[in-house]
Amino acid sequence: MSKLWGRGLLFTGCLLLFSLCLGTAKAASSENMDNTRLYFAYGSNMDRKQMEERTFTAKFKGPARIRGYKFMINRRGVASIVPDPARFVEGILWEISPADEKMLDSFEGVAGGYYTKETILVQERATGLMLAALVYIGAESEPGRPREGYLEKIIKAAETNGFNDCYLKELSRWQEPPKNKEGV
């Protein structure tokens, strides 16, 4: 696991250097002059209605992608991402205020150790720009089954935001029963 994590960090670092050389990276910080910051949602927070209920002022910015990670459902039955240099995660960028971030911290269980907060480079679909964004990553990295109705909400938000068919199929695979040791 630590080798994969190291490769993911190395990949992200190389991606940042490459982006800076091309002039496509925005500020290295995810915080803007007005104290707002970008937040990348890849789970149920991609749903606009849910974000309206959970935050005060979050603004929808549009689809984005993180390279070097893959989507997963952990043993708690919720979404997370784990390093994988050959994969990517689709999601939604939101612009959030410090008050919004505190609300999200509470919903995501940061104080209880359920999620950690990272700043990761994401690629905005509309512009291709590489932007630093807050991402919540599950502390639990063992795969599990999604909570009832949870994955359906994620897939609906992904469809609404025009995620490609291959990625939608990848999300849908988490609905399938887990395979045993023989792969059956």
Pairing of strands 37-41, 79-96: antiparallel
> What does the alpha-carbon distance between residue 122 and residue 11 come to, in Å, rounded to a whole number?
13
- Give pLDDT tens digits for 14-41: 444 333 333 334 444 455 667 999 999 9
**Domain interval for residue 76:** 2-174
- Among residues 127, 115, 113, which one has the least CA distance to residue 44? 115
- Give pLDDT tens digits for 127-169: 999 999 999 999 999 999 999 999 999 999 999 999 999 999 9
Q: What is the DSSP letter of 48?
A: H
Domain CATH number, residue 166: 3.10.490.10
- With a threshold of 0.85, does the pTM exceed it? no
| Number of domains making up the chain | 1
- Collapsed DSSP state (helix, strand, coil) of residue 179: coil
Whether 180 is covered by a domain: the verdict is no
Whether 76 is covered by a domain: the verdict is yes
Whether 121 is covered by a domain: the verdict is yes
> What does the alpha-carbon distance between residue 94 and residue 106 come to, in Å, rounded to a whole number?
17
Whether 56 is covered by a domain: the verdict is yes
Pairing of strands 115-124, 37-41: unpaired
- Give pLDDT tens digits for 4-15: 444 444 444 444
Q: How far is CA 94 from CA 38, 61, 73, 83, 159, in A?
A: 6, 5, 22, 22, 17
